């Protein structure tokens, strides 16, 4: 495994085509597209890494896996009145389906859906309290107390909020958001601004590898059924309108973020995190996907065969 990761990292470091770093959040535009990290965490506690695996980056939409998990814990199946479970086939920040579907977002991983999930989690609490709970949950699943929000990234996204603000106001107009739009958005931007390294993310994904239990720490996070369902949502919706392509090429549930990270889950085998800041046309990490494709090919890991 160590040799494979070293090979993948050196192959990716030599690539000239690296995609385009997200610049609609100005703070993310400063990130060096040459960075590349990969980490593989196994249920027995072993960890393999290569490249910039210990460098924290903005996890952005990968955070939606953790907010979904928290929301299911608080709301159970009641969450599905806020948000659906179908792939959208549209870009992550699209507004078009919302009008046709009376303001109910297709799934928890597109922006509109994640904003609805934040609304579901808030339950009349202030953003500060909600964010403290989310942070302590992420620290718990990753077993790492050093994880923090990057407040500069959150402020940068807030200053350029117009697209997400449109989605939130549109949902509010349909009576879909219970809380104040600005409070929901402020919470959402901080959630997306969580900074984590590939190593921390790979650890945080371990509960999805072993039916809800982080075997490395011996703690149950969710039921087996819930872990399987979260994986199914990652498979179908985790890469927006690039989800089919990701399933075809990598064959594992995965969740991407515009910071260039991807968390992928090989059930029963490993939790994998990659980071390469350059994105493809669907807003997913170009080399991150390629690296996962290489890893899946070499290991044979796939949910579609054995």
The residues that touch ligand GLN, with contacts defined as CB under 6 A, are: 60-61, 92-93, 111, 157, 164, 192, 257-258, 283
Using CB positions, name the residue nearest to ligand GLN: 61
Nearer of residues 191 and 199 to ligand GLN, judged by Cβ: 191
Nearer of residues 60 and 97 to ligand GLN, judged by Cβ: 60
Query: Which two tokens mark 273?
Result: 């995190």
Cα–Cα distance, 24 to 214 (Å, whole number): 35
Nearer of residues 42 and 68 to ligand GLN, judged by Cβ: 68
Closest CB 280 distance from ligand GLN, rounded Å: 12
Residue closest to 231 by CA, chosen among 83, 72, 35 = 72
Cα–Cα distance, 55 to 201 (Å, whole number): 11
Burial 137-169 (b: 16+ CB within 10 A, else e): bbbbbbeeeebebbeebbebbbebbeebeebbe
Chain centroid to Cα 261, Å, comes to 8
Closest CB 55 distance from ligand GLN, rounded Å: 18
Nearer of residues 79 and 153 to ligand GLN, judged by Cβ: 153
Cα–Cα distance, 118 to 127 (Å, whole number): 10
Nearer of residues 31 and 216 to ligand GLN, judged by Cβ: 31
Closest CB 99 distance from ligand GLN, rounded Å: 19
Strands (DSSP E) along 86-239, which ranges?
A: 148-149, 194-196, 213-214, 219-220
Catalytic residues: 61, 64, 188, 240, 258
Closest CB 54 distance from ligand GLN, rounded Å: 22
CA distances from 87 to 9, 127, 201, 245 (A): 31, 28, 24, 13
Cα–Cα distance, 99 to 102 (Å, whole number): 5
Cα–Cα distance, 140 to 9 (Å, whole number): 29
Closest CB 93 distance from ligand GLN, rounded Å: 6
């Amino acid at each position: 495994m160590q040799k494979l990761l070293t090979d993948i990292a050196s192959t990716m470091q030599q690539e000239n085509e690296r995609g385009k770093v997200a610049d609609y959040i100005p703070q993310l535009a400063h990130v060096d597209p040459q960075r590349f990290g990969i980490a593989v965490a196994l249920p027995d506690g072993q960890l393999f890494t290569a490249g910039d695996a210990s460098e924290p980056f903005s996890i952005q939409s990968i955070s939606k896996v953790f907010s979904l998990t928290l929301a299911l814990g608080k709301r159970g199946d009641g969450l599905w009145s806020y948000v659906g479970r179908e792939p959208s086939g549209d870009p992550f920040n699209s507004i078009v389906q919302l009008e046709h579907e009376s303001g109910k977002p297709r799934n928890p991983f597109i922006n509109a859906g994640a904003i609805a999930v934040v609304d579901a989690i808030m339950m009349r609490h202030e953003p500060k309290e909600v964010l403290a709970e989310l942070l302590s949950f992420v620290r718990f699943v990753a077993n790492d107390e050093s994880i923090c929000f990057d407040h500069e990234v959150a402020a940068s996204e807030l200053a350029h909020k117009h697209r997400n603000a449109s989605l939130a106001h549109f949902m509010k107009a349909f009576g879909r958001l219970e809380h104040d739009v600005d409070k929901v958005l402020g919470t959402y931007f901080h959630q997306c601004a969580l900074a984590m390294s590939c190593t921390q993310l790979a650890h945080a994904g371990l509960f999805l590898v072993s039916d809800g239990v982080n075997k490395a720490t011996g703690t149950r996070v969710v039921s087996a059924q819930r872990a399987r369902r979260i994986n199914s949502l990652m498979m179908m919706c985790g890469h927006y309108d690039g989800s089919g392509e990701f399933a075809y090429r990598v064959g594992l549930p995965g969740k991407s973020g515009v910071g260039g990270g991807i968390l992928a889950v090989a059930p029963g085998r490993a939790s994998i995190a990659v980071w390469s800041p350059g994105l493809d046309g669907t807003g997913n990490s170009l080399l991150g996907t390629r690296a996962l494709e290489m890893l899946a090919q070499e290991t044979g890991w796939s949910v579609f065969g054995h």
